[in-house]
Structures are given as structure tokens and as C-alpha cells.
Amino acid sequence: MDMNITEWSAPSRDRPRGVTILGSTGSVGQSTVDLIAREPDRYRVEALVAGNSVDALAEQARRLNARLAVVANPQRYRALKDALAGTSIEVAAGPEAVVEAAERPAEWVMAAVVGFAGLKSTLVAARRGAIVALANKEALVCAGRLLTETIEESGGVLLPVDSEHNAIFQVLEPRHRHAIDRLILTASGGPFRNWSSADMAEATPEQALAHPNWDMGAKISIDSATMMNKGLELIEAHLLFGLPADQVEIVVHPQSVIHSMVAYTDGSVLAQLGTPDMRVPITHALGWPSRIEGPAARLEFGGLAALTFERPDSGRFPSLRLAREALVTGGFAPIVLNATNEAAVAAFLARRIGFLDIARIVEDVMAGWDRLSEPVESLQQIQSVDLEARSRAEKAFQDK
């Protein structure tokens, strides 16, 4: 991604930045709201969007004096309207209203809806040339080139918020792109890093949700436990930085201090480090193309006992292998991988399937799909592949 940063200026009191937060009540969304609330003079909040959490959304909208608050579930419209009665904040509900929120004129949009549900609004923000701070990796995994080409054509910018990709974005020097040997994505290894497959077979949602380093939403926490999160990030790294699968290495780094690295052909390796706090990459994205002050704890090197590294184990964590295969296959494969995984994670959280069934069902659905490498041409096609994969996953849950 090459970008013309002279078009953009950092948020300031003289020129407040218009912002919209899609998924404002989630883990990334709340951190974004908190950062903005610390410097209200630098931002003008256009729209906040949530799925269902009306009370939290209304509180955020009042706190940030947002122009518009949207809840995706249309049945929550009345509750949101009541919660914002007596204010001048506009209220809307339903999936179309979510898309309209993304269309409103905010220069900077945080895409932090979880999962495929965030795809359309992310694409809409990209199409109108916004700075899209991308947390919603599933949108990029599924839309692929459709999203990266949309943003290139519109003159917008895709800023990675995932801490690994944000790290690479910070240390990848575009003028030295030809001299990149490989990207190195770090992975914490999740809560089951040292568990045997037999123990993982019995793992409960509570155990899988207990991430050792990061406090995150439920879906990404389960993805970290299966390591599908790193698999999705592999695809994300390929799409953002244009390197093939065999030039993206994954290394387990349990302390989550090095957030990722770029290795160059002269033997140099550039890393970005920080405390494991999502406010670091979100602050970077909020301030881009400049740097602004953030509240995250400073890294105290004297207090770091050791930084350790291990090779990932795709035997115990087959999602890593499945994601790499999906990336190499291309076409529909990442969409099928993502949809089946989203459905399987929800089924695991609902205690309908076991922990190891998640990857097993993803593998079965992918293996049974004809013409997985067929090229993706439109949003409608992506949506229909997503639906079909979810219905095949549902059948697999019922057959169990």
C-alpha cells in the first residue's frame, strides 16, 4: 500500500478530526472511545455504531457528543431512542443504518465490528476515501483485493490496527520494499500454548476465553486459543503488505512485547515493541500521519525478565495450516475458512461442539467445497459464499 500522506493532517484543536466508530461498544471500540474522550477538542464524533448494547452506546454518544448513534439490531431502536431522549443526537437502527453511518462524512473511521458483519460498512467507508483504521480483520480476509483496490481507487487509507500489522506498518519502509526478506508475525500462543491435544479436547469456553496477555472480545479470544487468529492475520498481512505466504513467518513469543518484525535481505530485522495494550496501535492510528501522546504504560526494560521465541505447532493448532492453505488456494477459500470458523466459534461458545471440533469442521467444509479457488468478483458473491459456508457448518454441528 503506497499512500500520499501529504493529503492528511493529524487531529488538532485547530483542525479537529471527524471520526466514526463502527463497533464502539466492543473491546477495541471502547478503547477508541476512551482515547478520544481524553482529547475531545481534537475530534468531532460523527457516528457511533453498536450491535445490541444500547445503554453503553447511549452513554458513549452523550460523553462524546456524537451526531448519530446507530444500533444494528432494529428491535433495539425504541430503547436507544429512549436512552437518548432530550439530546440532539440522531438515532437510527438496522443494518442499512449501519451502512449509512459509515457513509457519513468522517475523515477517520474505526472499523471494529467483529466478524463478517463489519464487511459492508468497512467497504463503504473505504469507497468514500476515508482513513479506515482496520481492526475488523475478517472484513479484509473475506473481501481481499475488493477492499484494497477500493481504497486505492478512492484515495483513502487502510491503517492496520491489529497490533502485529500496525507494528509492521510502522517499521516497513516503502522505499525498501524490494529488500524485504520476510515479515515475522509474533503470536502469544494463547491460553493453550502448552496444552496437549487430549487436554484441549476437553477445554471449556471459560478456559479458552482466558487469554494470558490481552483483554479482548469473545470471538478473537477463542481465535487466539485455536490460533486461527494468527491464521487470519497471515492472510491479512499478505493483503496489506503484498508478500506471498512463504515470506510471512509466524513465531510464538509468549510475552507479547515484540508486536511483529520486518526482516530485510541485508540481515537487519526491524521490530516494533510495546506493552500489550491495544491503545498503542489505536493511538498510532488516531494520530497518523503524525504521532500523538497515548496513555499506555511505557515499556520498562529493566522489569522484563526475558523475551522468548518458539516455532508454532501446526499439529496441535491445525488452524494455522488451514489458513495458510486458504491463502495459497485464494479465491473463495479465505471466505469459506472465515465463515465456517465464525460459525464454529459461536457453536463452541454455546457448548454445541468441542474445542477441537472448531478446526475439524473448518477443514471438512473446506475439503468438501468444489472450485474453492474460483476468483472473487463482487460483494454479492462474497455474501453468498459466506452464507453457504455457514449453512454447511450448521449441518456439520447437527451431524455431530
Residue numbers at the binding site for ligand NAP (CB under 6 A): 23-29, 49-53, 72, 98, 112-114, 117, 135-138, 162, 214, 216-220, 278
Nearer to ligand NAP, 180 or 191 (CB): 191
Question: Whole-number minimum distance, CB 21 to ligand NAP, in Å?
Answer: 8
Q: Which residue, judged by CB position, is nearest to ligand NAP in the bound state?
A: 26
In whole angstroms, the minimum distance from the beta carbon of 115 to ligand NAP comes to 6
Shortest distance in whole angstroms from residue 229 CB to ligand NAP: 7
Closer of 109 and 372 to ligand NAP (Cβ) = 109
CB 91 within 8 A of CB 11: no
Q: Least Å distance between CB 174 and ligand NAP? A: 23
Is 250 in a helix, a strand, or coil?
strand
**Smallest distance from ligand NAP to CB 387, Å:** 15
| Residues 284 and 170 sit within 8 Å (Cβ to Cβ) | yes
**Residue 195, CA distances (Å) to 83, 203, 280, 289, 309 in order:** 46, 10, 30, 42, 17
| Comparison of 218 and 273: residue with beta carbon closer to ligand NAP | 218
Nearer to ligand NAP, 222 or 365 (CB): 222
Beta bridge partners of 180: 264
3-state secondary structure at position 91? strand
Task: Answer whether 109's CB lies under 8 Å from 135's CB.
Answer: no
Nearest CB to ligand NAP, comparing residues 268 and 384: 384
What are the b/e assignments for 55-80, b being 16+ CB within 10 Å?
Answer: ebbbebbeebebbbbbbbbeebbebb
Q: How far is the CB of 97 from ligand NAP (least distance, A)?
A: 10
E-state strands within the chain = 17-22, 43-50, 68-71, 90-93, 108-111, 131-134, 157-160, 180-187, 248-252, 258-264, 269-273
- Name which of 276 and 330 has its Cβ closer to ligand NAP: 276
